[in-house]
Amino acid sequence: MSQPSKPNVAASLFTIHQVITRALDVSIREAKTLAREHRPHASQQYGFLNYLTALISVLGVHHLTENELAFPYFADKLPELPMAVLTRQHREIFSVLGELRVLVAEISSGALGELGWPIVGSTLVATRNLWRPHIEIEERHFDVEKIGEMLPAPEHLRLIAEFGEHSQRHSGPPFLTAPFILYNLPPEIRAIMAKGMPAEVVEHLIPVVWKERWASMRPYLLE
């Protein structure tokens, strides 16, 4: 997805779509790999559980931000927006994410043995099957060009900052979710996303303070 040259709140939301779509694809492939291995290496399993933890948080908070901020803001500006359909889809995805969160906790605690990974895989597939048609509707109605012309640049910047602050406040742990967002994006889009994050996070916390805490996710992230 190409990025507009001017700030655009729709493009900002859709960048998170890119993050989540890639992460779901990566997670499904890895869950299938772990399901084939009778005794996955402990470090591999630990890194993937961290990756799933970040995915669950980012996806859930993205929909929370849309429910609480984006949809109410655009309700009168986009009267054709199928709000009831989108919020119903959000509830369905929240429900599956709840199942996935329980699975991650049970595997982390050792309560669920090697049989857990096939269940994780099928739950991720169910999530992706809900996710794809959902974002197709959103991206069709939140047309980037139309939204770009609808609002002045300062309002785009205000909304991007408001949505970003809301997401940061409700997601976590930040030492997983912040690098998860950046490094599920290709470098050119990552650079744009990084400009919207606090400089302290991008320049010091991620590469220095949090470096060892998210290092286990590196096999699943882009360079």
Is residue 52 situated within a structural domain?
Answer: yes
pLDDT of residue 114: 67
Is residue 111 situated within a structural domain?
Answer: yes
pLDDT of residue 104: 95
For residue range 13-25, what is the model confidence (pLDDT) as tens digits?
Answer: 999 999 999 999 9
pLDDT of residue 208: 98
Q: What average pLDDT does the segment 140-158 reach? A: 95
CATH number, residue 139: 1.20.120.520
pLDDT of residue 70: 96
Is residue 221 situated within a structural domain?
Answer: no
- Res. 37 pLDDT band, cuts 50 70 90: confident
Is residue 3 situated within a structural domain?
Answer: no
DSSP letters for the chain: -PPPSS--HHHHHHHHHHHHHHHHHHHHHHHHHHHH-SS--HHHHHHHHHHHHHHHHHHHHHHHHIIIIIHHHHTTT-TT--HHHHHHHHHHHHHHHHHHHHHHHHHHHTSS-TTHHHHHHHHHHHHHHHHHHHHHHHHHHS-HHHHHHHS-HHHHHHHHHHHHHHHHHH---HHHHHHHHHTTS-HHHHHHHHHTS-HHIIIIIIIIISHHHHGGGGGGS--
Has residue 107 got a pLDDT over 70?
yes
- Res. 38 pLDDT band, cuts 50 70 90: low
Is residue 43 situated within a structural domain?
Answer: yes
- The number of folded domains in the chain is 1
Is residue 198 situated within a structural domain?
Answer: yes
Has residue 133 got a pLDDT over 70?
yes
pLDDT of residue 138: 96
Is residue 169 situated within a structural domain?
Answer: yes
Is residue 222 situated within a structural domain?
Answer: no
**Which residue segment(s) compose the domain that 149 sits in?**
9-216
- Res. 27 pLDDT band, cuts 50 70 90: very high
Instruction: Record the pTM.
Output: 0.94
